Chain A
């Protein structure tokens, strides 16, 4: 595991977007979502359960994701699977473009030479 000082605390709202993005690949449960984010970010992003489950409840409340208890094929047990709703898909698109703009803006300020 990466040393803790290299891990980044997620900015409020970012976790929501990352969860939504993860669910684009198909329905998933809490543990898998956390692992996916961790793995895909090369362990740069640690998802605490204390943030994950409240976030899932919040997204569910907003109607961006839905949850259902389903039998897991590989694990042979009931897990709570989350899937993206059409509203959630729209939300993700909006969040994504916002983030892109933000990142580009930050990049232009931080590395002006790269702009050419």
Chain B
């Protein structure tokens, strides 16, 4: 049997020859039986039947015949698209925009929300969490962190339901891998960390239980694959090399496998070090003995056949033993103690690793996914509109094909194939857009601040997602036109005037319905985009109470460079003096919690003469600052004095509070000065004297509410670590960057400086999410509106073409051209208006869904609504303009002659 499609011609010729011979033999036979030659020939032909039919049946025998038919139809579809390049271009472009946007967002969302850890059987990993109260503070609730003693005691208990238990904590440190000091992410891990995850070293070995034996004497580091590649030259000899973490020498014992970046996938670890080296990695925080400090994440691997609930139940006795030991060390009154012992353990799925980043970005990403989903839906509806118009234009062609014997299915298959071709073209171009889009998107995310790392190239998951989306969209947008075309086929088969008339009415309804749908969906996106835009505006119009525009920020952590506390503070004072000598600098100061960076230090307070009610929130923001901090930031002092150099170690303990704190507990700023406050755990109580009150200002971000705040002298801090410096200037703060870096290096050339940026830039990064939403939703809404405009234009243009005759008659009867113009234009505007009415409730619903992301704007904002409606009407008018002009140029005489 011959191949396909090249052997076909030969086959055909052979069959022709054979059938011809058959005909001859039959005719001969009849002649022999006594018939006239002519009569014999025609009888034979009659007997042979329809030669084409015979050939078709033979062709149908061929193994790939049906494929061949599809191939033929596909070529036909491609040809017919090529005959209409304008239509194909608009359809493919709008599909590509829709598919591209969805794929770009999916590429990011997939990494943030959907992917599991690249470890053995991730589904069997379970993260320990607790519910109840916390012994180290007043908070009740739920958390996924535990104390170090908890982990060690649970590890000791060795529950059989878990085939292993491991702990980890992610931090950052100053690491020198031979090319100077850099900050790197270090994951502190317990001995069984790698074995519980089932991760094998790519080179050398992982950390083992025996690397978790002796406190402060396990200087072994495993490096992540990318770190090995980028910082250690991808050399096998890197195993055995010494690197310095905070100046402490450690030996690289192995390289983790590619793709494994620790327990938090979006905050990749560069190095893995044993908890035993905590003092070296985190010189200022060594809470390994503290039962009242929770900081570890603990996870285990469920034994075969055990479900998380069972495992949690069997861990309960060991957990309550831990809780009782906690109480022995930190006695509480009977009521609190009873409550504390009632704490419960829960095991949650940890296949994706730790999720706090996921929680942070989950809602925004879902909103973005919903928005691009809407955009894709609009493009589908748009392409459906275009296809319906095209089908209507091709009615005659379809009728002809049907009368030539094409079945309804053949006609429908043609439409479906055309749609598939369009979708394939859209998907291919969409992937290019997706790559561009996700690159831009990742650029908008300050990865440095969040420590997030995203791949921007769509991988096989994204590619298969795109393929699925393209296929689905093709089916979605082809459905209405395909059904319509078969109805056309049926009508032409019936040759029934009434049927065609009802069909054309149905088509008109379909076209209008599709356009109305597009307008309604666009209104949703426009409304949401308007709200995000306005919300962003409101945020940046907020007065932070800090001179954001004339401050430069940078940070140092001298403690990581083996500075003792006293030397750290001396360094801070020296640096402050040195910075103030820079020409153009008005003042400089520092704090240990960075300003407007989303960071928050808090403390539960006790106040002189104030008896808090049961459960009253006594939290206040806490920050340690150098003298001159308020002057540098431009925060006015309302009463009392600022800190000065005398407020150092050994001097009386002093505190400055903000206006909200003063008014809430003391009545007024002046009354507050001289009063005493303290942290609720302080013994003896109330050790601090209020020496000053400063004006309220924003500290965490621009969205926060006024909040009681406290400021403590940095020079009285026990363990100074992070120091965020602020340098104020009347000029451009960015111009100070080189001078500031020089100043630090003059004092200590080996001290890493990081986070050098203007405070304005810092604020923008802090509010990147709002910025991202505003920009992306504006882009999506603009695209949606543009696409809806194309749909409106298509329908108006088609309607003018269809009604040429009617318009000609109107003109011949004396209707002025202006009236014709209005007629066409108002039709488009009417469709848009209906779309807006249909879309209004949907838009309000969408706005309520995103309400939690808004600031200073109510979900139903009349200005935003008016702007969105106005934009859509303007687009409708614009889309209707050209067809309306064309209608006025119709010449009555030629219009009446045509058709």
Contact = CB atoms under 8 A, between A and B. Distances in A.
Interface of A: 29-32, 35, 48-51, 53-54, 57-58, 60-61, 75, 77-80
B313 to A, nearest CB: 66
Given A48-B49, A49-B48, A60-B1, A30 B57 contact: no
A32 B24 CA distance: 12
Interface string B1-16: 1000000000000110
Contacts of A53: 15, 18-19, 54, 57-58
Given A31-B25, A77-B21, 20 more contacts: A29-B21, A31-B21, A31-B22, A32-B25, A48-B49, A49-B22, A49-B47, A51-B57, A53-B54, A54-B57, A54-B58, A57-B58, A57-B61, A61-B1, A61-B61, A77-B24, A78-B17, A79-B21, A79-B25, A80-B18
Interface of B: 1, 14-15, 17-19, 21-22, 24-26, 28-29, 47-50, 53-54, 57-58, 60-61, 63
A43 B756 CA distance: 102
Contacts, number: 54
Nearest to B51: A49
Contacts of B48: 49
Contacts of B57: 50-51, 53-54
Given A50-B57, A54-B57, A54-B60, A80 B49 contact: no
Most-contacted residue by chain A among B25, B29, B53, B63 (CB, 10 A): B25
A50 B24 contact: no
Nearest to A50: B54
Nearest to A79: B21
8 contacts: A29-B21, A29-B25, A30-B21, A49-B47, A49-B49, A53-B15, A79-B21, A80-B18
A9 B25 CA distance: 24
A71 to B, nearest CB: 12
B61 A31 contact: no
A75 B15 contact: no
Contacts of B15: 53
A50 B25 contact: no
Would you list the 6 A-B pairs with minimal beta carbon distance, nearest first?
Answer: A31-B25, A54-B57, A61-B1, A80-B18, A31-B22, A50-B54
**How would you classify the secondary structure of chain A's contact residues: helix, strand, loop or mixed?**
helix
Contacts of B50: 50
A78 B25 CA distance: 12
Contact of A30 (B18, B47, B61, B63): B18
A54 B54 CA distance: 8
Given A49-B49, A50-B53, A57-B61, A80 B1 contact: no
A48 B49 CA distance: 8
Nearest to A62: B1
Contacts of B61: 54, 57-58, 61
A17 B50 CA distance: 25
A54 B58 CA distance: 4
Contacts of B24: 77
A83 to B, nearest CB: 15
B1 A30 contact: no
Nearest to B2: A61
Nearest to B53: A50
Contacts of A77: 21, 24
Most-contacted residue by chain B among A49, A54, A58, A79 (CB, 10 A): A49
B22 A30 contact: yes
B449 to A, nearest CB: 69
A47 to B, nearest CB: 11
B653 to A, nearest CB: 99
Contacts of B54: 49-50, 53-54
A111 B245 CA distance: 100
Contacts of A49: 19, 22, 47-49, 54
Contacts of A48: 49
Given A57-B58, A57-B61, A50 B21 contact: no
B18 A50 contact: no
Contacts of B47: 49
A80 B16 CA distance: 11
Contacts of A30: 18, 21-22
A31 B19 contact: no
Contacts of B58: 53-54, 57
A96 B50 CA distance: 32
Contacts of A79: 21, 25
Most-contacted residue by chain A among B17, B18, B29 (CB, 10 A): B18
A62 B21 CA distance: 24
Contacts of A54: 54, 57-58, 60-61
Contacts of B21: 29-31, 77-80
Most-contacted residue by chain A among B26, B49, B50, B58 (CB, 10 A): B58
Nearest to B57: A54
A35 B49 CA distance: 16
Contacts of A80: 14, 17-18, 21
A50 B48 CA distance: 8
B864 to A, nearest CB: 69
Contacts of A51: 57
Contacts of B22: 30-31, 49
A96 to B, nearest CB: 24
A58 B19 CA distance: 16
A58 to B, nearest CB: 5
Contacts of B60: 54
A80 B61 CA distance: 19
Contacts of B49: 48-50
A14 to B, nearest CB: 17
A51 B49 CA distance: 11
A29 B26 CA distance: 12
Contacts of A31: 21-22, 25-26
A62 to B, nearest CB: 9
A75 B54 CA distance: 24
Nearest to A35: B29
A74 to B, nearest CB: 11
Contacts of A32: 25
Given A53-B19, A53-B58, A75 B25 contact: yes
A76 B868 CA distance: 87
Most-contacted residue by chain B among A31, A75, A77 (CB, 10 A): A31
A30 B25 CA distance: 10
Contacts of B25: 29, 31-32, 75, 79
A35 B22 CA distance: 11
Nearest to B14: A80
A79 B765 CA distance: 86
B21 to A, nearest CB: 5
Contacts of A60: 1
Contacts of A58: 61
A48 B22 CA distance: 12
A31 B24 CA distance: 10
A88 to B, nearest CB: 15
Contacts of B1: 60-61
A116 to B, nearest CB: 45
A76 B1 CA distance: 28
B58 to A, nearest CB: 5
Most-contacted residue by chain A among B17, B29, B61 (CB, 10 A): B61
Contacts of A29: 21, 25
Contacts of B19: 49, 53
B16 to A, nearest CB: 11
A79 B26 CA distance: 13
Contacts of B53: 50
